[in-house]
Amino acid sequence: MTPNRPPSIAKRVPLIVPCVAFAVGLVLSLAVAFPSRRDARAADRVLVQADASDSLMFHRADPARVMGVSKADCKMCHPSEVAAWMKTVHYLSPDQRLRKVEGNTKRYADALGIARDNLLNDSVCSGCHGTQAEEAGEIRILSGVSCESCHGASGVADGWLEPHRSYHASMEIPRSQETAEHRVQRIERCEKAGMIRSPDTYELAKSCYGCHIVGNEKLVADGHKLASAFEFVSWSTGEVRHNFFVDETKNAEAPTLWAERTDGTVTSRRRVKFIVGSMVQLEMALRHRAVATNPAVIPQLGGLAAAANGKLAQINGLAAIPETQAVAALVGPLLGTLFVPTPNDNDTYTAAADKVAEQARKFAASNDGSDLAELDALIQATPPHYSQQFKDKYLN
C-alpha cells in the first residue's frame, strides 16, 4: 500500500526551471525510434562498456538461453496472447527493418559496417528488432520482438519456463488447485531464473527502455533516432497489450491474473506505471549520457533526460511523492551540465542513474497507486499507442 503522504497539492504551480527543462528536453528528444541491445534481468543485468563505435549496450536476453515461441510452446497456454502478438509491429519488425536492405536499413548497416547477411544474425540491429537465439554456435533471429525479448530468456533445464507452467511438482493439477506454498516457491524460482513478471513494473519498464533508447552513438550520429516516442503507459496499454489469461476472448486493460490475485485496478496500475516509467526513462538516459562522447549525441541525451525530469516535475506539482521528489532534488543540480561533456561524466551520471533506479524500485515495491488520483488527468493525456499499420489493418 502507498505510505501516508501530505495532503494533495494539486493546485501548486510547478517551478519554472523544471518546466523550461521539460520544454527544452521535449524539443531535443522528439527525434525518436528503436534499437540498442536488450536489457535482460537478474544477476546478468549489467552495463557493458564497448568500443567507441558502440558506446553502451545493455545485456539482452542471453541467446544461449532463448528457446523461442515455437520451441517453448508458448501457444499451448497462451494462444490468445500469441495471436495478439502476431498482429503487432514487434512481431513484424525483422521483416520490415532487417530483411529489406534498403533505405534507412542500408544506410545504418553501411555506417556501422554490418554485412547484409549479418543483419539477421548477431548484429546490433537484430538485438532489438528481433529475438536472437544461439544454435550450433551461431546466433540468428528466431522471430520478431517476442515473449522472451520482454520477459527474459526462458532458459534450458534451469530456466523459468518449467516452473512458470508447473502448478505442482508432478505438473498434473490445474492452476486453481495450486497450493499457496507451491505458488510462492514457483514465483521465487521464476524470478531467480530471470523471468520478468507482469507485477514487476520497474523491470518491465527497464526491458522496454533497453531498446527504446538507443545507446549506439555512431548509429545515432548517422541519423538513427535516439529514442522512440515511447511512453510506458501509452505503449503497454496499446498495440502490445496481451492480457487474456483469465478470459481468452477479452484483451483486458491490465494483467488479468495480477488483478485477480491482488484486487488491483486498471486505474491504479496506470498511475504506478506512469511514475515508474518516467523514472526509468530518466535512469536510462542518464546511463547512456554517462558514457557518451559524441558532441552531436550528448545534447540529444541531455534533452531526453531533461524531458523525463520535466515530466517528474509535473508529477511533483500534482502529488507529494517522496521518491519522485528525491529524484527531482538529485537531478536539478545536473541540468546545467547535461548538454555539454565534462571530465567526470561517467562517475557523475552513473551515480545519478543508480540513485534514480533505487527510488524507482522503492516506489514500485511500496505503492499500489490507489491514492494518486491527482495524476489521472496527466495520464489521460497519453492515450493507448497503436502503430499506423495496426490502425489501418485492425482498428479502421
pLDDT at 21: 42
pLDDT at 72: 92
Residue of 276, 262, 284 lying closest to 315 (CA atoms): 276
Count, in order, helices (H) and strands (E) of the chain: 20, 4
**Digit-coded pLDDT (tens) for 262-278:** 999 999 999 999 999 99
User: Domain extents for the chain?
Assistant: 16-57+198-390, 160-193
Model confidence at 52: pLDDT above 50? no
Model confidence at 321: pLDDT above 70? yes
pLDDT at 36: 34
pLDDT at 34: 30
Strand pairing category for 138-143 and 131-135: antiparallel
Pinpoint the alpha helices (H) of 139-265.
147-151, 161-165, 180-192, 201-212, 217-221, 232-236, 256-262
pLDDT band at 171 (very low <50, low <70, confident <90, very high): low
Which cell goes with 339? 548538454
Model confidence at 305: pLDDT above 90? yes
**Digit-coded pLDDT (tens) for 63-73:** 999 999 999 99
Model confidence at 27: pLDDT above 90? no
pLDDT at 58: 54
Contact 177, 251 (CB under 8 A): no
The pLDDT > 90 percentage for the chain reads 75
pLDDT at 173: 83
**Digit-coded pLDDT (tens) for 126-135:** 999 999 999 8
Phi and psi at residue 56, in whole multiples of 5°?
A: -160, 130
